[in-house]
Structure 1
Amino acid sequence: MSSQATSSETVSGRLTIIGLGPGDARFLTLDAQEALRAAQDIIGYAPYVARVPVTPGQRRIASDNRVEIARAEEALRLAASGRRVAVVSGGDPGIFAMAAAVLEAVDNGDPAWRALDIEILPGISAMQAAAARLGAPLGHDFCVISLSDNLKPWSVIETRLELAARADFVMAFYNPASRARPQRIHDAFALLRRALPEDRLVVFAKSVGRAEEDIAITTLGRADPSVVDMSTLVLIGASGTKLVARGDAPPFVYTSRKAP
């Protein structure tokens, strides 16, 4: 997606917002690989920048996870100065990641930034990677909710969880727990246990696509949310989500496309 110029002022440079996928470089799209090689500056959260294959002569600008707007503004300033800049995110940049931060900075920042050549390249999200490992848990209607209350009040998240449970969506949780927010995943499970049957399927997919990958399938009644961290993608099944036992092979999890 390239922006349309809204100013007569000419702005040089190029900004590409890239999804790195869930981990292994095999998950990178060809477009993402080419854009990373072409970039002069790689900007992003430090662990994501560290995942980018090294290209001689590139400058790497790593920063903390909570400075998204400042990071976006720095990337835009560099692109406006004529640099080829890549802003990197894990997974897909449009899902709880840097694409929204960059566009928010464009919306509220220097009007000249609107004339920049900006492209957003998709990546494989954590929920897609986890779903592929499991089978097809997202095979019917689903929703995606961030459990982080850094940018929105917890009461809003509670309302969304309640409504998603009532609507019988499969739910994928991003940002489920961190050192600063260890209690929120427990709060979410307490709410869901009041709203859903205890045999509802639950998946904890940790570090999908990396060496430490671990996927656990359990139920809402048996699930231990204390095992969840920021590298864990949590899936809550719908009434149509089923487990297919396969002997010694890992089971499949899928959600029927038929209405319950």
Structure 2
Amino acid sequence: MDIFKDLLKFTVVDIIDVVLVALLLYYIYKLIKGTVAINIFIGIIIIYLVWKLTDFLNMELLSSIFGGFMKVGIIALIVVFQPEIRKFLLMVGSTNFSKRKKFLSQFKFLKTETSNTTNVEAIVAACTKMGTSKTGALIVFERNNNLDFLTQTGDEMNIKVTQPIIESIFFKNSPLHDGAIIISNNIVKATRVILPVNNDKVIPQRFGLRHRAAIGVTEKTDALALAVSEETGHISYFKDGEFVLFKDNSELINIIKEDLS
């Protein structure tokens, strides 16, 4: 009878509370999916459920052990999930309400699916051609995190992506070739962008500031990046602060399309 009485007390505020918690858990899962942190997250959920079960069954000793772990473990969680927490706060803090008509469109992290029209084939073809002439390039793909805080460090643009456009931007005598470009939905948003550089990660000495900048921006946001080495002409693909050298264009195109969608 007490359960039915509690159900009758269930209000609209309680429903909103449950929905918001569900959305928060879903987004946390989406944020750490595909990383090592996902296993830690699942482990924490299991321990929490066991804690609640032991508490419900009045198993005081086990309940106190798991309860103490959950209380002290919050400090460890902040350390373990530091990159993910930083991405989340950066995403919320970089939301720009003044440049959009729709309020809810700013909360891109609540979307379950996104459509991206970026001409990946043209970008990879341009990188391949620049690689043969050893022309350095750094291209950043905007995803859910708003990168307006980075575009302001360079020259804001509104140019449709094509292979000649990409090649002309990074042409060695071009005034726009220094720095990175940011692409969002097949539009070059900015050129000569200054990216945060990662100096902590150990990378081969043949890679320079472009690669460290690509590591930095993909660590701090959910952006993707392509870098063409000026020394070797190799194309590197960056995601979550990690990078892979690619020689197979079709495989690289498919991976970028999948990550963008």
What TM-score, normalized by structure 2, do the two folds share?
0.23
TM-score, with structure 1 as normaliser: 0.23
* Structure with the higher fraction of residues in strand conformation: 1
The structure showing larger relative contact order (alpha-carbon pairs under 8 Å, at least 6 residues apart) is: 1
